[in-house]
Chain A
Amino acid sequence: MISVAARGQYAALAEMRWRMLLNSLRTRRGNFELAARILGIGFFSLLGLAMGIGLGFGAFEFASDGKLQFLPFLIWPVLFLWQLTPVMVASFQEHVDLSVLLRFPVSFGSYLLQYLVYGLFDISSILGGICLAGIWTGLVCAQPHLVAWVTLALVAFAAFNLLLTRMIFAWLDRWLAQRRTREILGMVFLFLILGAQLLNPVYYQHSGHRSRMTRSATVHALHTADRVQSVLPPGLAGGAIHEAAGGYEIKALASLGGLALYALAAGALLGLRLRAEYRGESLGEAPQRVAKAEVTRGKAFDFAGPIGAVVEKELRYLARSGVLLYSLVAPLIMLFVLGRGGGASFAARYGLPVGVAYGFLGLTRLVYNSLGGEGPGIQLYFLSPIRFRTILLAKNLVHLVLFALELLVVCSIMVFRFGIPGTEILAATVCWLLFALPVQLAAGNVLSITMAYRMTLTRMSREQGSAGNGLLSLLIQLLVFGVGVAVYLPLALMGHARLAAPVFLVLAAGGVIAWLRVLSNADRMAAGRKEALIQSLARAA
């Protein structure tokens, strides 16, 4: 089935990854990187285990009570989890770029297989797989005679999810790589967010008047929803098991066939994309742009000096990197998706601070790995007569502007959704931000120098060092948020919520001092890490 040559290539690839892992363990940084990766996988596995156990119990109950028609209620969340997790972790988790294999005589089948195999180790696959394993265990324990049908349906559903996730990311890579498609995708995201925001009041308006809806209208709406979901993959997977349990094997087979068709469609779209990549498609922007007339240069950023130069360069890089733009936008989408949870009063009170803290996730890679996009250009910073603190200061200015823009969008979403929060929480949030921003920038500057990893700005490809940096940056962000909670909640419980703002202001002074100290020490730190920085950023991909 697999040719000798392909087997040799797989073995070589596995050995290469193994050797890379072993070689990375020679350094303290490499050991930390591995520990961070193990910790990350362990954390997500535990999370998946908790969800899997819950889903397993649910499946057991449905199967024991003979209510397998409700199985899609358990399978739909798995689909959302599987497909949304990559978006949630997009800001700090990247994917392995296999296009480097294309210079070798790798067959298309091998290339496709490798692409899928790597997908098995994605966080979303681990989470989704554990959840499906939980459902499988629950169902099989309750009705052991269904083991074959349950296995078939859930494996087909897992295959569909795997193919769908990989297909989405393969096409995203393609669209983000070129300016024209990136702009179209940007507009789609924008309309998606705006459209979702407009749909939201409609949803709540209807839910508020639910009692006035006639029973028949409600039943009709539910029937319609059920009919629609029953022809979608989670409905088909659940339907196949339900029908098999009822003795309708032909219907069950038809549902499985439908599910297989969805998987085939996702696989075909993935194959289409990878085939183009395999044939040596160039994702460069040159062909589209060479023919254009020269545009007047640089008028928009007409300020002299190295700070202006770095700011201008950073903005140009950002505008040309779909991956970075995507990282900025992804948390905003998730903010909408996750924004429904919680009671109305809780959300109205804490929605803004939580949203603001979450919004910073979009800047994680930009702030905590601010040198990662330079590539060999990092040498220029060491060769030019500019202090490193000037470079970091210019980058921080860009970060502040970007965060201000994110803040504007986040505040608009939260205020539109929940209304303007109370004065106390608003003041506390603003003052917490004054503390959080300099602390994040200071920590980001330190990590950018000490734990930089090379970022590929046109593809979502993971590079060595990303896990360690990602884990630390998330921990720091959690810590900063935790300080906010630790200060505000006790004061609020004691009825002194107004005191939170001055406390945050004191902390903010400390944060600013920390940021300035990091900047003043930037040259020393960069000089100490010069060789490591050049080695990790300028090395051949």
Chain B
Amino acid sequence: MDTPAISTRGLTRRFSDFTAVDDVTFGVAPGQFFGFLGPNGAGKSTTIKMLTGLLEPTSGQMEILGEKFGSSALELKRQIGVVPEGMALLGRLTASEYLRFVGRMYGLDRATTNRRTEELLDFMQLANEPKKLVTDFSHGMQKKLALAAAVIHGPKVLFLDEPFEGVDAIAAGTLKTMLQGMIHRGATIFLTSHVLEIVERLCSHVAIIHKGRLVANGSLEELRAGVAISLGESSNQKLTLEEIFLNVIGAGAGEPAQELSWLS
């Protein structure tokens, strides 16, 4: 059996009295497009931060490509790419300067860095703004640039925290094409997103975290079947990921939200 690309066991992170991630255990197989879902404040970003070495877990274990962060942290970082919550951009550089900077930080030689920078800028349709500073980019352009920076060194595992947030349909299409291409070439992608339609279209496996605890994990079909059984429905009607999500976190069956009468 292949070593999981990502695996966690009892992963926990506490901030004083608050437990953001509580005893989370899951595995992601190599080449899998894995969606990690949850409502706001559920612990998605905290989990990604721990998996990418930006945050120390309070307890539990995790391995990326069979390696633990620690003595082999530098080697491990060469194998992964990340679009973190804040995008990690350097606002006072241009897009090409930033990508060249990142490429060199990942140890690429200058020729490779330059070539990949130009290819990525063309692919992301950022090449026509050669002198614009990153800080002057729109949010969507910054997302595309952050993704370009995350893949410039050809990572085996890619962590994406809300890559489609604030991105228009055209840019989202570009990103999806690129991500699917990476999956076809054997990369593993771990993605968090609130855009459930995109997750449903891209991801083969999904985990749902709620209030820090993992409440569902499996392939889309497995989750669909599980929810259908719990609802007592026949499987003739295919449940959408949104329905699965709402059902799993228990938000679909309750009372409708109270209306705000003062809103005109």
Which of A's residues lie within 8 Å of B, judged by CB? 284-286, 289-290, 292, 294, 297-298, 302, 304-306, 308-310, 312-313, 316-317, 320-321, 373-387, 457, 530-531, 534, 538
Taking a contact as CB atoms under 8 Å apart, the answer to whether A306 and B84 are in contact is: no
Taking a contact as CB atoms under 8 Å apart, the answer to whether A297 and B88 are in contact is: no
Taking a contact as CB atoms under 8 Å apart, the answer to whether A383 and B109 are in contact is: no
Cβ of A52 to closest chain B Cβ, rounded Å: 42
Which of B's residues lie within 8 Å of A, judged by CB? 52-56, 74-75, 77-78, 80, 82, 84, 86-93, 96-97, 100-102, 104-107, 109-110, 114, 129-133, 135-136, 149
CA distance A377 to B93 in the complex (A): 11
Taking a contact as CB atoms under 8 Å apart, the answer to whether A375 and B105 are in contact is: no
B88: nearest chain-A partner, CB-CB: A379
CA distance A520 to B132 in the complex (A): 37
B78: nearest chain-A partner, CB-CB: A385
- A383 in complex: contacting residue of B54, B92, B93, B110, CB < 8 Å: B54
Q: List 15 A-B contacts (CB under 8 A).
A: A284-B133, A286-B131, A289-B132, A290-B131, A305-B104, A321-B92, A379-B84, A380-B149, A382-B54, A383-B52, A383-B84, A385-B75, A385-B78, A386-B74, A530-B55
B104: nearest chain-A partner, CB-CB: A309
Q: Which 3 A-B pairs have the closest CB atoms?
A: A376-B86, A309-B104, A379-B88
Complex contacts, A376 vs chain B, CB 8 Å? 84, 86-89
- State whether A298 and B105 are in contact (beta carbons under 8 Å apart), knowing that A286-B132, A383-B82 are contacts in the complex: no
Taking a contact as CB atoms under 8 Å apart, the answer to whether B77 and A383 are in contact is: yes
Cβ of A169 to closest chain B Cβ, rounded Å: 21
B127: nearest chain-A partner, CB-CB: A294
CA distance A289 to B88 in the complex (A): 24
B81: nearest chain-A partner, CB-CB: A383
Complex contacts, A373 vs chain B, CB 8 Å? 92
Complex contacts, B54 vs chain A, CB 8 Å? 379, 382-383, 530-531, 534
- B92 in complex: contacting residue of A312, A320, A387, CB < 8 Å: A320
Taking a contact as CB atoms under 8 Å apart, the answer to whether A379 and B86 are in contact is: yes
CA distance A24 to B123 in the complex (A): 44
Complex contacts, A534 vs chain B, CB 8 Å? 54, 86
Taking a contact as CB atoms under 8 Å apart, the answer to whether A538 and B86 are in contact is: yes
Cβ of B141 to closest chain A Cβ, rounded Å: 11
Taking a contact as CB atoms under 8 Å apart, the answer to whether B135 and A284 are in contact is: yes
Total A-B contacts with CB atoms under 8 angstroms apart: 110
A384: nearest chain-B partner, CB-CB: B105
B73: nearest chain-A partner, CB-CB: A385
Cβ of B151 to closest chain A Cβ, rounded Å: 13
Taking a contact as CB atoms under 8 Å apart, the answer to whether B101 and A309 are in contact is: yes
Complex contacts, B132 vs chain A, CB 8 Å? 286, 289-290
A383: nearest chain-B partner, CB-CB: B82
CA distance A52 to B29 in the complex (A): 74
B106: nearest chain-A partner, CB-CB: A384
- State whether A380 and B86 are in contact (beta carbons under 8 Å apart), knowing that A385-B77, A387-B74 are contacts in the complex: no
- B53 in complex: contacting residue of A284, A297, A382, A386, CB < 8 Å: A382
CA distance A298 to B114 in the complex (A): 10
14 other contacts beyond A284-B136, A320-B92, A385-B75, with CB at 8 A cut-off?
Answer: A286-B131, A286-B133, A306-B107, A313-B97, A316-B97, A376-B86, A376-B87, A376-B88, A379-B86, A379-B88, A380-B102, A384-B102, A385-B78, A534-B54
CA distance A443 to B129 in the complex (A): 40
- A285 in complex: contacting residue of B84, B89, B136, CB < 8 Å: B136
Cβ of A338 to closest chain B Cβ, rounded Å: 32
- A377 in complex: contacting residue of B80, B88, B104, B114, CB < 8 Å: B88
CA distance A305 to B107 in the complex (A): 6
CA distance A29 to B155 in the complex (A): 38
Taking a contact as CB atoms under 8 Å apart, the answer to whether A316 and B78 are in contact is: no
B53: nearest chain-A partner, CB-CB: A382
A537: nearest chain-B partner, CB-CB: B86
Complex contacts, B78 vs chain A, CB 8 Å? 385
CA distance A534 to B88 in the complex (A): 10
Scoring B53, B102, B131 by chain A CB atoms within 10 A of each residue's CB, the highest score goes to: B131
CA distance A378 to B89 in the complex (A): 8
- State whether A374 and B90 are in contact (beta carbons under 8 Å apart), knowing that A383-B54, A383-B84 are contacts in the complex: yes
CA distance A284 to B54 in the complex (A): 31
CA distance A375 to B96 in the complex (A): 19
Taking a contact as CB atoms under 8 Å apart, the answer to whether A320 and B86 are in contact is: no
Complex contacts, A375 vs chain B, CB 8 Å? 89-91
B108: nearest chain-A partner, CB-CB: A304
CA distance A308 to B108 in the complex (A): 12
Cβ of A323 to closest chain B Cβ, rounded Å: 11
Taking a contact as CB atoms under 8 Å apart, the answer to whether B53 and A302 are in contact is: no
CA distance A382 to B73 in the complex (A): 10
- State whether A380 and B90 are in contact (beta carbons under 8 Å apart), knowing that A308-B104, A385-B78, A531-B56 are contacts in the complex: yes
Taking a contact as CB atoms under 8 Å apart, the answer to whether A302 and B101 are in contact is: no
